[in-house]
Chain A
Amino acid sequence: MASQEESSQPSDTLTTLKTESETLKTKLEEERAKLHDVELHQVAEKIEALGQFVIKTRRTLKGHGNKVLCMDWCKDKRRIVSSSQDGKVIVWDAFTTNKEHAVTMPCTWVMACAYAPSGCAVACGGLDNKCSVYPLSLDKNENLAAKKKSVAMHTNYLSACCFTNSDMQILTSSGDGTCALWDVESGQMLQSFHGHAADVLCLDLAPSETGNTFVSGGCDKKACVWDMRTGQCIQSFETHESDINSVRYYPSGDAFASGSDDATCRLYDLRADREVAIYSKESIIFGASSVDFSFSGRLLFGGYNDYTINVWDVLKGTRMSILFGHENRVSTLRVSPDGTAFCSGSWDNTLRIWA
C-alpha cells in the first residue's frame, strides 16, 4: 500500500523492527533447542572420575603495593608480567620469584597487561584509556618508561589487551563498549569491533590453528565471537545473568568458558552454537573474576571474589577442589603455556603459583 518506506512514520518502522527482532530471537532459540539432544555431563558419564590430586601454592610473588589486577605468562613458561591498582607493572621470574623489571604507569588501575610472543616487550593500560607497549631491556638499569610506545586509544578504560600471533598487533577491549585491533609500530587502528551494548571486560584470542577469531565478554551479559578480518560478530551468547568478567577458549578452539558476576562459569560450544555446561553450586554466591583451562581442557580453574579458586571437571560439571590461600578477591588467573602450573593474582597484593 505505502509506496516509499523511507518516508513512513518512524514509530511504525520501529515497531516492525522490534517485532522482527523478537521473532528472530525466538527462532534462534528454537533452532538451537532442536539440536540440544543431550547434556555434556551425560556424554561424560562413562568416563572415569578424576582422582584426588594435590595442587598447592608453590611460590608467592610479593612486591605490589596494591591490588593485583591482571597477569600474563611469557612463552618461556617462567616469566610473568603483572599489573596493579597502584600503577606498577612488574615482570617476575616465577621460578626464583625475583623481580626482573618494574615500570610505573602514569595512571592508577592498570587493568590489563600482556606479554609479547617474543618475550621482548609487555603491553599494559587501564584508566589512561590507552594500551602502551614497553620493550624490555636487558639492561636492568635502563628506564623502561623512556622507550614506551602508545598504541591504542579508547574513549574509556582499557579492560584487556593481548598480542596476536606476533609482536606487531594488539587486540584491546574497553569500557567504551568496543574492541579494536592495532598495529603496534604505527599505532593505527586496523579493525574495530562494535556490538556490545556496554563495557567490554575481557577477551581471548582463538588458538592459532582455529583461525582469525576472538571472543569477548561484557557488562551487557553477552559473549561475542568476532571475525578479526571483517570486524563482524559471528556468534553471540546471552545466557549469563550478570557481567561477564572473563572468557577463555577451550584448548581445541571449539568452545570457550566464561566467568561472571552471577557466580557461575559456563561453557559454550561454538559448533553447536549454545551453552553446553554451567559450573555452579548453591554455596557459591560470589562472582567469578577469571577462568582458564588446564592443558587438556579437562579442568577449569575459576578465581572468585570470595577469595577462593574452584577447580571444575569440565566434562562432568562437578567441582573437584577448592583452593584457599588468597586473602582477598582473586582478580586474575592464567595457566602457564605448557600447563605445568597456573598463576593467580589477587586484591591481597600478591600473586601465587600453583602446581
Chain B
Amino acid sequence: MSSNSASLVSLQKSVKQLRKEAGFRRIKVSQAAEDLKKFCLDNAQKDPLLMGVPSSDNPFRPPKSCALL
C-alpha cells in the first residue's frame, strides 16, 4: 500500500516536472551553434592554452634564457 503511494507521489512530481520542461522556449541548434562558434572565435586571441603564450609571459613555462650576473 505505502509503496504504491510513494510511487504515486514520485510519478506526480515527475509528470509535473515534465510539464514544466515541455513549456521551455528553445532556439534552433543552428542559432545556438553560431553563438557558440562566435564566442570561441571572439575570445581565441585571449586564450593562452589555444594560442600558446611565449615562455617569458607564461609563469609556468621556463624562460628561454637565464641572465648570468
Q: Which residues of A contact B (CB under 8 A)?
A: 10-11, 13-14, 17-18, 20-21, 24-25, 27-28, 31-32, 35-40, 42-44, 47, 50, 53-55, 58-59, 78, 94-95, 195, 232-236, 250-252, 254-255, 269, 271-274, 276, 294-299, 314-315, 335, 338-342, 353, 355
Contacts and interface: CB of A to CB of B under 8 A. Distances in A.
A297 B21 contact: no
Interface string B24-48: 1011111111111101111110111
B23 to A, nearest CB: 10
Given A298-B44, A355-B60, 17 more contacts: A17-B8, A21-B11, A21-B18, A38-B33, A40-B33, A47-B41, A95-B60, A252-B35, A252-B39, A254-B39, A276-B29, A295-B50, A335-B49, A338-B48, A341-B49, A342-B49, A355-B49
A315 B39 CA distance: 11
A315 to B, nearest CB: 6
A335 B49 CA distance: 9
B36 A250 contact: yes
Contacts of B5: 10
B61 to A, nearest CB: 6
Given A14-B8, A255-B36, A314-B40, A37 B30 contact: yes
Contacts of B47: 294-296, 298-299, 339
Contacts of A42: 33
A25 B29 contact: no
B49 A339 contact: yes
B21 A235 contact: yes
A322 B53 CA distance: 20
Interface residues on B, range: 35 or more
B35 to A, nearest CB: 6
Most chain A beta-carbon neighbours within 10 Å: one of B7, B8, B36, B58:
B36
Contacts, number: 172
A102 to B, nearest CB: 23
A298 B47 CA distance: 9
A295 B12 contact: no
24 contacts: A39-B29, A43-B30, A44-B33, A47-B41, A78-B59, A233-B17, A235-B21, A236-B21, A251-B43, A254-B32, A255-B32, A272-B26, A272-B28, A273-B26, A295-B43, A296-B39, A298-B40, A314-B36, A314-B40, A339-B46, A340-B59, A341-B58, A355-B48, A355-B49
B29 to A, nearest CB: 5
A55 to B, nearest CB: 7
B60 A341 contact: yes
B40 A315 contact: yes
Contacts of B35: 252, 254, 271
Contacts of A58: 60-62
B29 A27 contact: no
Contact of B50 (A54, A252, A296): A296
Contacts of B14: 21
Nearest to A94: B60
A271 B18 CA distance: 17
A189 to B, nearest CB: 20
Contacts of A271: 26-27, 31-32, 35
A186 to B, nearest CB: 29
Contact of A274 (B29, B44, B46): B29
Contacts of A28: 18, 21-22
B64 interface: no
Most chain A beta-carbon neighbours within 10 Å: one of B32, B42, B44, B46:
B32
Given A47-B37, A339-B49, A340-B59, A38 B30 contact: yes
